Amino acid sequence: MKISARNVLKGKVKEIKPAAVNTEVTVELAGGMSVVSVITKESADKLGLTKGKEVYAVIKASNVMIAVD
């Protein structure tokens, strides 16, 4: 796989929450941290996502915001 995004995080599907149109996918990364993504239900089906499946969370953003209390 070749991709232009600089942030590619390998993990395993921890949880899948399908809804009428979208599916929320939680990916557990090494060290126990998680990333949550909302994708279309159709995309989740086409990817054959199941709990425990190895996946990549690909993050490509033109802006990353930083906040403090």
Nearest partner of 45 among 18, 15, 13, judged by Cα:
18
**Which tens digit of pLDDT belongs to each residue from 27-49?**
999 999 999 999 999 999 999 99
Q: Count of domains in the chain?
A: 1
Structural domain contains residue 19? yes
The residue among 27 and 60 whose pLDDT is bigger is 27
What pLDDT is stored for residue 11 in this prediction? Answer: 96
Q: Identify whether the C-beta of residue 23 lies closer than 8 Å to the C-beta of residue 17.
A: yes
Judge whether residue 61 has pLDDT over 90.
no
Instruction: Give domain status of residue 40, yes or no.
Output: yes
Distance from C-alpha of 23 to C-alpha of 58, rounded to nearest angstrom = 16
Q: What's the pLDDT at 1?
A: 76
Look up residue 31 and give its DSSP letter: G
Structural domain for 27, as ranges: 7-59
Residue 20, pLDDT score: 95
